[in-house]
Amino acid sequence: MASRQVDRISVIDTHTGGEPTRVVVGGGPDLGPGLMVRRRDVFRARFDPFRSAVVDEPRGSDVMVGALVCEPEDPSHAAGVIFFNNVGFLNMCGHGTIGVAVALVQHGRIAPGRHTIETPVGNVDVTIEDDGNTVALDNVESRRSARGVAIEVPGVGRFTGDVAWGGNWFFLVEDHEEELALANVERLTEVTWGIRRALVANGITGDDGGEIDHIELFGPPSTSEADGKSFVLCPGKAYDRSPCGTGTSAKVACLVADGKLREGQVWRQESIVGSVFEASARVVDGRVYPRIRGSAYVNAMSTLILDPADPFRMGIRA
């Protein structure tokens, strides 16, 4: 067989509380210098097929979150990162940042300890424990922008929820009658997708006009190890297997705003698959900075092959 030139992408696959992150450590596009938000614009405009090649089928799946590791703008920082998924780009990703930190340790690029990572919505800090798997993420400022917003979902019902920012925009619903169980994910997906569409139809957005593309249902925990359980619908209609780092940050902002969580007090958020993040808040001049602690594990270190003869080398794109 004649050999032909193929492109190769080096990745480290991790999961954080069951939610996968494919961390691209080599073979990624050159996005040039600058802030991650600007480099994300370049990625979106010029390299969207690369996004699809990494996370979409046949190499990936709707659940997969990709993380492109970049040279940081500030050389004293550990890395820059741009997160993406089956439908586009994320602002920030909490489970993904924990996955990136663990991948960079396993790749020998950083040691356990405290590091700064640049993201499109600002710098975050990670403190990686000596086990190389447990990471505390000090997230960007999180806030509730609207409380008790009522929404009618045609054919499903009426819900009341809060709009909050935790690095992405969330609609957080406690007022529902769904049972948060893995056996119900189809129904939970239908309800949360209906809520998302109703938010769009009613022009309800984040306070900067940002689309609310993550929906969370909350309920009682199924274990004494947690304070609450959640189902989180992601932008591309997959549900988060982890408790969602940015979603838990949005929850923390709401709990602090309601006087239900004091600075430094721990809130343990259980995911729909039973994984748990420990969350707490630092409050500076009235601003809430969540800390999310969880564990990630490496599943694979591999090379993606993009063969020019393969009709689906750039993924199956919607």
Binding site for ligand PYC (CB under 6 A): 19, 65, 90, 93-95, 234, 240, 242, 244-246
User: Minimum distance from CB of 235 to ligand PYC (Å)?
Assistant: 8
Least spacing, CB of residue 230 vs ligand PYC, in Å: 11
Sort strands 214-219 and 169-173 into parallel, antiparallel or unpaired. Answer: parallel
* 274: alpha, beta or left? (left if phi > 0; alpha if psi -120 to 50): left
Q: Give least dist CB 83 to ligand PYC, A.
A: 8
In the complex, the smallest distance separating the C-beta of residue 275 from ligand PYC, rounded to whole angstroms, is: 11
Closer residue to ligand PYC in complex, CB, 95/143: 95
**Residue 237 CB, nearest approach to ligand PYC (Å):** 12
SS3 306: strand
Q: In the complex with ligand PYC, which residue's Cβ is closer, 99 or 306? A: 99
Whole-number Å distance between alpha carbons of 153 and 239: 19
Residue number with CB closer to ligand PYC (159 or 169): 169
| Residue 254 known to be catalytic | no
The residue among 215 and 306 lying less far from ligand PYC, judged by its C-beta, is 215
**Residue 110 host element (H or E):** none
- Which CB, 97 or 106, lies closer to ligand PYC? 97
| Catalytic site residue from 70, 234, 244, 254 | 244
Among 51, 142, 146, 134, which residue's Cα sits nearest to residue 90?
51
Active-site entry in 70, 93, 234, 254: 93
Residues labelled as active-site residues: 93, 244
